[in-house]
Amino acid sequence: MTQALTNDHIGTRERWHSHQPTGTIRPHSTLIIEFIVMNIRELLNAKVLHAMHACGIPADLPALIAPGKKAGFGDYQANCAMGAAKAMSTNPRELAAKIMAVLAPELEKEGIATKIEIAGPGFINIDLNPEWLGQQIANAQTNTRLNIATVSEPQNVVIDYSGPNLAKEMHVGHLRSTIIGDALARLLEFQGHKVIRQNHVGDWGTQFGMLIAELEEQLGANGNSNMALKDLEVFYQQAKKHFDDDAAFADKARSYVVRLQSGDTAMLKLWKQFKDISLHHSTEIYQQLNVTLKYSDVCGESFYNDDLAPLVNDLQIQGLAVESEGAQVVFLQELADKDGNPSPVIIQKQGGGFLYATTDLAALRYRVKTLHASRIMYFIDARQSLHLQQVFTLARKAKFVADNVSLEHLAFGTMMGSDGKPFKTRTGGTVKLAELLIEAVERAGVVVSEKNSELSPTEIAEVSRKVGIGAVKYADLCKTRTNDYIFSWESMLSFEGNTAPYLQYAFTRVQSIFRKAGVTPESLTQNIIINTEQEKTLAIKLLQFSEVIDQVAREALPHLLCTYIYDVASLYMTFYEACPILKEGIPPELRDSRLRLCHLVARTIEQGLDLLGIEVMERM
């Protein structure tokens, strides 16, 4: 038995010990598991609340369960006594002792904890029973969902992400929305929600007149739109130059927008050709990025065209939109500046044209009315905060959205270059995503080859792809979403630290242990023995996966999942150093127990990375 588990050195504490000796290996049958625990925090929460009620503590006071922060201070803590004592004007330590008197026998009876003690002003520290932990690990290891429950009340969640402007090729500015949004889509789907992806692409508006006029001319010349639009960037520049230099062309472009927006079939046909080819580019990028967005998730600005005039009309009838200098404007007092001036939202321009905000209002109405969303998540750059605040406020005011629908702008910061300025090419241009991804795979190829592995050239290519793409995605996902971050090839491709390659490598290490052991995980039936400090710490971490998933789902902060996977991998490395597995002299039951723990580590890393849209490999 290790020090931290017996904790005898802390003499001043009141403590309760299990009557069962801990740390000795006992057969599976000494404990009867009444139910499989999906979430330790929730389990303890229920138990502590129950004990609190038994002590006459008002039902609305929380149990405040948290994982222990320091070794020796409980695997989990219940921090309820201080607040409850304050509310009841009594002594917190005495109240904690009362709670403990109810809680301890119950946790003991069920074999959940070995020791409960009161520390400091009234913290209740709970040490979990290693044997019980072993059983939970065994359950998780053999369960297809790693014992992670699906939500009891699935929601319709609309996730608005990526949303590139189709006039141009995707560039790094679209990276964050695309990969953070996709991680949340995957995670909420894993939880059992109905996720409706909405790719709100920019496929409408004045520049499309110019683009289709250009397309028409180029088609006249060579007849093949695929050829003309081979490089969207070049095409855009040609159209722009044409527009700037040639007044007749510019007039034509302007008349084309009007014809397009009023539904002219010839114009729509050209526009559709352009849109299809541009979307084909984006779809290719999504595939390369291992992002789940499909062609069918596209619901761009053009989709709402027919609803814009009725929407403006509706806002006028409601008395919200008023004419101001020939435009239709809603003045929002709710978002007034510090001098009390209301925030103006233009919904129709003087000439009759509609705006970005009008389309977003129509989209919001559609998402609520037709898609029946109860949660709508927007993964859009922080610089669009005001726009979204206006749209949300106005939509609620106009009763397009009921109060119980959650509208969330999940803003993110900017990707910076090493100079601390927004990431650009050496010559100051925007970096095309397609080129960035090629470079990522090439650079990964260099580091993977340096590893001197025995992989064949085809395997190296495949591993480099997974490592390169994974590195770019992970480097973004592991940063706090709301912050800016500095893009650095060196740190993201490092095999040390909180990086994709480190985690992918940890996964391959487990695979190689199984190859060496010559066993399959499925063949292992030995009980899981949690004996050492390292095994216990690792086991508890592994069992916290569902807590982390819940938190990421609530707060839309994927970096919390990254930190978690990184912690699992690091604790695994520590465990691996301290607890020999295949060494001679290790009894077979201990070997198999540790192998099962390894297997759950690998599955957790794999599942965690999969929720982030990052692939693993058998070897590297």
Closest of 606, 525, 543 to residue 136, by C-alpha: 543
- Measured from the CB of residue 383, what is the shortest distance to ligand ARG in angstroms? 9
- Measured from the CB of residue 300, what is the shortest distance to ligand ARG in angstroms? 8
**Can you tell me which residue has the tokens 């025995």?**
454
- Measured from the CB of residue 566, what is the shortest distance to ligand ARG in angstroms? 30
Taking the least distance from each CB to ligand ARG, the nearer of 163 and 470 is: 163
- Measured from the CB of residue 198, what is the shortest distance to ligand ARG in angstroms? 8
Q: How many helices (H) and strands (E) does the chain have?
A: 22, 14
- Measured from the CB of residue 218, what is the shortest distance to ligand ARG in angstroms? 25
Q: Of the listed pieces 36-44, 160-168, 263-271, 540-548, which binds ligand ARG according to CB under 6 A? A: 160-168
- 1-35 b/e (C-beta count within 10 Å ≥ 16 → b): eeebbebeeeeeeebbbbeeebbeeeeeeebeeee
Give the contact letters, 318-357, x = binds to ligand ARG (CB under 6 A), - = no: ----------------------------------------
- Measured from the CB of residue 200, what is the shortest distance to ligand ARG in angstroms? 4
Q: Which of residues 117, 307, 360, 476 is near ligand ARG by CB under 6 A?
A: 360
Q: Which of residues 134, 202, 470, 501 is near ligand ARG by CB under 6 A?
A: 202
3-state secondary structure of 72: coil
Specify whether the backbone of 392 is left (phi greater than 0), alpha (psi in -120 to 50) or beta.
alpha
Q: Which of residues 165, 290, 390, 544 is near ligand ARG by CB under 6 A?
A: 165
Q: Which of residues 163, 205, 501, 558 is near ligand ARG by CB under 6 A?
A: 163
Taking the least distance from each CB to ligand ARG, the nearer of 236 and 575 is: 236
Q: Of the listed pieces 39-47, 132-140, 158-166, 335-343, which binds ligand ARG according to CB under 6 A? A: 158-166
Report DSSP letters for 443-489, one per residue.
Answer: HHHHHHHHTT----HHHHHHHHHHHHHHHHHHHHHTS-TTS-EE--H
Query: H-helix or E-strand containing 328?
Result: strand 327-332
What's at 66, amino acid-wise?
A
Taking the least distance from each CB to ligand ARG, the nearer of 229 and 298 is: 298
Q: Of the listed pieces 143-151, 159-167, 548-556, 592-600, which binds ligand ARG according to CB under 6 A? A: 159-167
Tokens representing 445? 């190829």
- Measured from the CB of residue 202, what is the shortest distance to ligand ARG in angstroms? 4
Taking the least distance from each CB to ligand ARG, the nearer of 360 and 550 is: 360
3-state secondary structure of 314: helix
Taking the least distance from each CB to ligand ARG, the nearer of 17 and 200 is: 200
Tokens representing 616? 């693993």
Contact residues for 56 (Cβ-Cβ < 8 A; gap 6+): none
3-state secondary structure of 381: strand
- Measured from the CB of residue 379, what is the shortest distance to ligand ARG in angstroms? 8
Taking the least distance from each CB to ligand ARG, the nearer of 380 and 463 is: 380
- Measured from the CB of residue 280, what is the shortest distance to ligand ARG in angstroms? 18
Residues linked to residue 307 through DSSP beta bridges, in sequence order: none
C-alpha torsion 432→284→555→558, nearest 10: -80
- The Cβ-side half-sphere exposure at 162, using a 13 Å CA radius, reads 30
Closest of 281, 300, 273 to residue 211, by C-alpha: 273
What's at 354, amino acid-wise?
F
How far apart CA 85 and CA 73 sit, in angstroms, is 21
Taking the least distance from each CB to ligand ARG, the nearer of 187 and 395 is: 395
Question: Cα 329 to the chain's mean position, in Å?
Answer: 36
Q: Of the listed pieces 157-165, 188-196, 277-285, 392-400, which binds ligand ARG according to CB under 6 A? A: 157-165
- Measured from the CB of residue 166, what is the shortest distance to ligand ARG in angstroms? 9
Query: H-helix or E-strand containing 126?
Result: strand 123-128
Cβ-proximal residue to ligand ARG, closest one:
163
Query: H-helix or E-strand containing 116?
Result: strand 113-119
Q: Which of residues 75, 160, 182, 203 is near ligand ARG by CB under 6 A?
A: 160
Taking the least distance from each CB to ligand ARG, the nearer of 430 and 511 is: 430
Does residue number 297 form part of the binding site for ligand ARG (CB under 6 A)? no
How far apart CA 465 and CA 475 sit, in angstroms, is 15
Contact residues for 14 (Cβ-Cβ < 8 A; gap 6+): 97, 100, 117, 118
Taking the least distance from each CB to ligand ARG, the nearer of 111 and 163 is: 163
Tokens representing 40? 């330790």
> Three-class SS string for 35-89?
CCCCCHHHHHHHHHHHHHHHCCCCCCCCCCEEECCCCCCCCEEECHHHHHHHHHC
- Measured from the CB of residue 185, what is the shortest distance to ligand ARG in angstroms? 14
Taking the least distance from each CB to ligand ARG, the nearer of 385 and 488 is: 385
How far apart CA 269 and CA 281 sit, in angstroms, is 19
Taking the least distance from each CB to ligand ARG, the nearer of 161 and 256 is: 161
Alpha-carbon distances of 294 from 111, 197, 287, rounded to whole Å: 48, 9, 9
- Measured from the CB of residue 213, what is the shortest distance to ligand ARG in angstroms? 22
Residues 377-416 contacting ligand ARG, CB under 6 A: 380
Taking the least distance from each CB to ligand ARG, the nearer of 318 and 385 is: 385
Contact residues for 240 (Cβ-Cβ < 8 A; gap 6+): 210
Closest of 19, 25, 17 to residue 131, by C-alpha: 25
Does residue number 200 form part of the binding site for ligand ARG (CB under 6 A)? yes
- Measured from the CB of residue 220, what is the shortest distance to ligand ARG in angstroms? 30
Taking the least distance from each CB to ligand ARG, the nearer of 117 and 301 is: 301
- Measured from the CB of residue 423, what is the shortest distance to ligand ARG in angstroms? 16
- Measured from the CB of residue 532, what is the shortest distance to ligand ARG in angstroms? 51
Taking the least distance from each CB to ligand ARG, the nearer of 359 and 508 is: 359
Taking the least distance from each CB to ligand ARG, the nearer of 170 and 289 is: 170
3-state secondary structure of 73: coil
Contact residues for 419 (Cβ-Cβ < 8 A; gap 6+): none
Does residue number 375 form part of the binding site for ligand ARG (CB under 6 A)? no
If binding means CB under 6 A, how many residues of this protein chain bind ligand ARG?
8
Contacting positions for ligand ARG (CB under 6 A): 160, 163, 165, 200, 202, 360, 363, 380
